[in-house]
Structure 1
Amino acid sequence: MKGITTLLFSLFLLFGFTSYLPSATAYDVLDTHGELLRNGGSYYMVPVKRGSGGGIELVATGNETCPLTVVQSPNKASKGNPCLVASPILFPYITPNSPFQIIFAFVPTCAPTRLWTIVDGLPEGPAVKIGGYHNIRNGAFQIQKASQRGCNHYKLLFCLDDTCEDIGVYVDSEGNRRLVLTKNDPFLVQFQRVTSSTA
Structure 2
Amino acid sequence: MKLPILTISLIVTFIPFSLLSNTATSTPVYDIDGEPLTPGSGYYILPLIRGNGGGVKNYWNGSCPYFVAQANSEVDRGRPVQFYPVNPDEETIPLSTDLNIEFYDLITVCIQQYVWQLGDPVADSGLRYITAGGVLENPGDETVNRWFKIETHPDGDYKLVYCPTVCETSRPVCGDIGVLSQGGTRFLGLSDKPFRVFFARKLDD
TM-score (norm 1): 0.73
- Name 1:167's counterpart in structure 2: 177
Residue 37 of structure 1: how far off its partner (Å): 1.1
Pairing 1:84-103 to 2, within 5 Å after superposition: 84-89=82-87, 90-103=89-102
Paired letter, 2:190: L
Pairing 1:8-157 to 2, within 5 Å after superposition: 27-61=27-61, 64-66=62-64, 68-89=66-87, 90-111=89-110, 112-122=112-122, 123=125, 125-131=127-133, 138=145, 140-147=147-154, 153-157=157-161
Question: Take 2:91 and 2:78, find their aligned partners in 1: how far apart are those partners?
Answer: 25
- Name 2:196's counterpart in structure 1: 188
Q: Percent identity?
A: 30
Question: Take 1:180 and 1:27, find their aligned partners in 2: how far apart are those partners?
Answer: 26
- Name 1:7's counterpart in structure 2: none
Extract unaligned runs of 5+ from structure 1.
1-24
Larger Rg: 1
Deviations 1:131-182 (A, max 9, x none): 28xx986351001112555xxx21001113375310000100x210000111
Residue 108 of structure 1: how far off its partner (Å): 3.8
Residue 60 of structure 1: how far off its partner (Å): 2.0
Extract unaligned runs of 5+ from structure 2.
1-24, 135-141, 166-170
Paired letter, 1:106: D
Question: Take 1:187 and 1:124, find their aligned partners in 2: how far apart are those partners?
Answer: 19
Residue 26 of structure 1: how far off its partner (Å): 11
Q: CA RMSD in A?
A: 2.6
Residue 109 of structure 1: how far off its partner (Å): 2.6
Question: Take 1:148 and 1:126, find their aligned partners in 2: how far apart are those partners?
Answer: 26
